[in-house]
Structures are given as C-alpha cells and as structure tokens.
Structure 1
Amino acid sequence: MNLKTTILLFTIVGFLLGACQEKKAEKLQVQNPLPVEFGDPYILKASDGMYYMIGTGGVNDGFKMYSSTDLTEWKDEGRIYQGNTDDSWGIANFWAPELYELDGKFYLLFSADWRINPTNELENFRIGVAVSDTPTGPYTDLYDRPIFDPGYPVIDGNLWFEDGKVYLYYSRCCYKNPVESEVADWAREQGMFDEIEESWVYGVEMKPDFSGIVGEPELLLRPPLSMDDQQAEWESRSVTSGEVNRRWTEGSYIFKEKDTYYMMYSANFFGGKNYAVGYATSNSPMGPFQKADNNPVLEKNVEQGGIVTGTGHNMITLAPDGKTKLCVYHGRTSETGENRVVFIDPMEVTEDGRLIVHGPTTGKK
C-alpha cells in the first residue's frame, strides 16, 4: 500500500467516523412520555431557535407554556394567556391552542366557550386568536369575539399559509349533529344507541388579519357512511365498543410534502383508549382529500404488549437537525394514569408517499 492510498483510506475512515458521531450527537434523547400533562400539544420551532410547547391543561381558564432548546429539557414558562375575564369572549373550556410566528409577532389560535349564548347551548365553542410581541406572552385577545360564527360549535383550529392566502381548518363538534349511516343502523339494531352524532373537519379561507373568513366553509373529512369502508372499523371503535354514541373527526393538522397536501386527523373519543390518528391526501389545500389505506398510523399499543392508549391530536415539528419530522401527540399510559401526557416520536413520508409514525414509544430513543 503506497502513501497516497494510505492517506485516502485514513481520510475515508475519518469521514465515516465523523458522520457516525454527528449522527449520534443529533439523535433525539426524548424520554417518552414527557413530564408534561398536556392534551392537544403543539410545538412552535421559532426563529430564535427555541421550541415553545403549549396545550390543553396546566392552568384553569387559559394556557401555559414550556420552552426548550433541544426537545429534551423543558422549562416551565407559566401562564401565557388568561381567559374568562370581564373583557374576554371566551369564558370556559380553553382547548387546543396552536402558536404561529408572523412578521415579528406571535399568534395564539385556540378554542373556548363563547360568552354569547342566547339559547343556552351545552356546547358553544368557537375559535379565536390572541397576540403577543414575544413567544412567552402574555397574550391578549386580538378581537373581542371569535374569528367567525358558523352557527354550530367548532374546535381544533389549524392554519395553512400559501401564496398570500390563509386557510383555517376546524372540526364541527358532534353536538346536535346526528348522522344516519350503516354504523348508526347497526348501533340501533344492537340496542346500544338511538342515534350517532358526528364531528366533521371543514376548511375555509381566512382573512389575513384574522378578522373573519372569505367565502363559505367546505366539508373536507367525515366518518365513513358504510361499514364495509376500510376506514369504518378504526374510526367507529368508540361506538362499536359501546363507549359513546359519537364518531369524531377532529384535531386536523395539514402539511405539504412535494406536491401533496397531507391532512392528519384524530378519530374516536379523546377521553378513551381508542383515540387514534389517520391521514388523508389531496393536490389542493381545500381538497378533495382521500383517506389513506394504511390508516390508522398511530394508535394504542396495549394489544402488542405496550402500555400506551388514547394516542391522538397530533402535530408535526422538526428535530434540531432541521430535517427529521417528529410527530407530537398526547396519550395515556398505565403508569401515568388518566391524565394526558405528551409524546414525541419520529415520522416519515416514504418515497411512494405513505406517511408512517414510528410510535407510540416509551423510554428514550
């Protein structure tokens, strides 16, 4: 072996060792579940390089936040938004917050019970927005009202920005929305439930200043009508198990991979073990969306010997390497009890366009 060949070999070996060390250094050392009792978790990776996590719970009548530099160690930032005040439009049930950074400001999108309720509805949820100059707040309502009033309760707002337009996605609640389907017929025949209420995901263009919507909302996702639909089994488990007379399509989260729009969504009762995540795809942000044949992509693992149930209401962030997609969601374990806790697991979109979540996992990875 001559000197030139020896130098080349040492160079190659050094490069490979360096690459391995770099890969090892970038490996995410998340301990699932995180020591954070949030439902509906959402993480913003901000322009300052920090991660900011918000979710349902932690404080009454509002929201709190955790911050991190690496997704492994989290600092409690305390309350960032106070609702149920004399001036707030929202008075109870502050749910499903999301955080967006736009033009140097931070916007908090969330659901809450609307103060205006002349017919005394049991569920009177609407979606509003608050704003702050800093990610950790405090956040104040941008308007003294929700973004819009569709005439029925709505939750789980999610935004998509493209070509100067803003799209709002949300879930119409099951409340007072009974739907005839083969599943509903089956439930009556079994003597389980007289009717089955459903929640559906809608999309609508929104004014850039969050002051209202443009046009009318369009129905994008709903539970299947026939029992031989391949999505019917997993999306109907809350009903077929006798848990509750509702089928949910909620917690939508949209992202784009190449030329395809992916909408992830959750089905079944958020408070039960069957909560799970699927996805649908489209070539347009307003659909039509086609549900995937490998749904659900995230569900309980107790049948496989695991300890996790109730996995759902997810979103996606990027690892510190800026490349690896991470699925952020809530779930429960036999060790943590009934309170929802946060999980972070790797996910990918394969070359043939299939979305895969590598979870749920517990322990470090």
Structure 2
Amino acid sequence: MMNESITLHTIMTGRMKRRRRFILVTSFLAIISLALCCTMLMLGNTIYPAQDVIRVLLGEDVKGVSFAVGTIRLPRMIAGVFAGFAFGVAGTVFQTMLRNPLANPNVIGITAGSSAAAVFCIIVLHASNMVVSIASVIGGLAAVVIIFLLSRSTSFSIGRLILVGIGIQAMLDAVISYLLLIGQHHDIPTAMRWLSGSLNGAKMETLYPLIIIVLICAPIIMIYGKQLEMLELGEQAATSLGIHTDKTRLILIISSVLMIALATAATGPIAFVAFLSGPIAIRLVGVGFSPLIPAGLIGIILVLGADLIGQFAFTARYPVGVITGILGAPYLIYLLIRMNRKGNL
C-alpha cells in the first residue's frame, strides 16, 4: 500500500507539473500574440498611440487614424491571426495523425492544389479576387481527394499517402511553373505576389469565410484532440482503445483541409508556418497535453512577426511568406539530417 501511495503521488505530482508548464507556456504565447496584434495596429508609416487605436476599434471616428487602422491595418492583422492559427493547428493535425513531421500541408500537396487553381484563374482567366479565392478553396479540396484516392488500398498507409502527396505536389508545382511561363507580363507580378504568401491588400469582406471556418472547425479539432493523440499510437492501438479510426480521421482531415484551403485563399501559401508550428509547440509544452492550441498561437506569432519583419526590418518590403521561408528552410534541413541519422528516411 505504501509503494502504491508513493507511485500515485509521483504520478499526480508529475501531471501537475506538466499542467503548470502547459498553462504557463500557452499564456505566454497568448500574451506575445496579443502584443503583436497591438503592434500591427499601431505601427506603420505613421505610428499611432494606443488610445487612438482603441478609440477607432470602439467605433469612434478619429481623423487621420480611422482609415489607416480600420481599413488597412485591422484587416491585415485579422488575416494574419486567423490564417496563422489555421496553418498552425491544421499542420499539427497532419503531422500527429500521420506520425511524421514532414507530413504537413505544404509537403503533401494540399496548398499546391490551392496555388495551382489560383494561378490558373489569375493567368488564364484573369479572374477577380473573389473568383481566385473560391478556386483556391476548390483546388485544395480537390487535391486532398485525389491524394487519398490514389493512396487507397486494403489498409491505410502513412508512407503511401506521403509519397503520393509529394508526387502530386511536384506535378502541381510544374503546372504552376508552366502557367507562369505562358502568362502575360502584367499578370505575373500578381501571381507571384499571391504565391509568396502575403497579407497585403487584405479586406474584411474577403476574410469572413476564413473567420467562420476557423471558428467552426478549430473547436471540432480540439474536441477530437484526445482521439488524435491515440491515432499517433498506430491503427491497431487506437482501435483497441475504442477509437473509430476512419470516422475520426475523416473528421480531422475535412476540418483541417477546410481551414488550410480558406487560409491559403485569403493570404496565399505562407511557407513553413504549418510545418514549424507543431514541432515548436511540442518542444515548448512537453508531453501529456494537446499541443493544438499552442501550435495555433505559434502560427499567429510566426505570421505576424514575419510580417512586421518583412515590413520594417529591411530597406525593401518583403511579403510574409519570404520571411517564414527564410526561417523554415534551415529547420527543414536540420530535420532531414536528424531523420536520416535515425534511419527514418
């Protein structure tokens, strides 16, 4: 009895420490996210004091401030928040579910589907921004359907799905390159700006679909967080624990893909946010609790921080995707080297 009591006390103490760490890390990430949001609203060609920004947010008309904050900076900040959260959470879902840090939407072809559809509309159809956004969503969903149909067999295979996704990604990248080659000169800058991932030109009326989807799908993913962790144990282990693996996987995939597709439609394929958020969150919060919310907050921090760096850290202004690409490429190389040493490649 004494040994059992000591063991139980040790387990409870360890769980309390992990819970405390999770709460502290999540709170700290939330504070950083809020600080970046405030900075996005205050900082620009003209720096506005916090009290003027608050007055505008409360609906007051402040001369010289209302247009800059309400029309330009606020939509830009909201786009960064919801797109960053969507990429962070959805990327973590894929990496956890497929048990592979390389299995993120950028690598397995989902964002490439959205990008190819958007570039086709820009280069060939000369379509409006609304049509480009709708096509981007449809392209992302179509890419997912094709990937899963081609990777189907008698049983679900992580390796097969990733390989098919990489193949689809390569094919769609080739399609994008061809479209850029045949495009007219005045369309190419628009397509390239979209492909690089940017918060420039964000407008509230185009952000509502992204906001609604994130507010619907993110809670669904959180509800299935425990089942997601069990899927990481493998098909047989998850089934033995009473998880309906096919149903759970379908719900998680649909929710994640919808968020990725809408985020990509709103901001373009911001590089490496979905790839980096999950591993950073797991490193910070440790084991024992779902990293989904911290990963979403890290996605927000990466997008808003990279946008501020791209706007103000250099003499020229760079889209947010260029900065996140610079940050993410070294980590990808490090991850590939580490996986190779472990024999996972």
TM-score range, shorter chain: under 0.3
Q: Which structure carries more helix by proportion?
A: 2
TM-score (norm 2): 0.26
TM-score (norm 1): 0.25
Q: Which has the higher contact order (CA 8 A, sep 6+)?
A: 2
Q: Which structure carries more strand by proportion?
A: 1
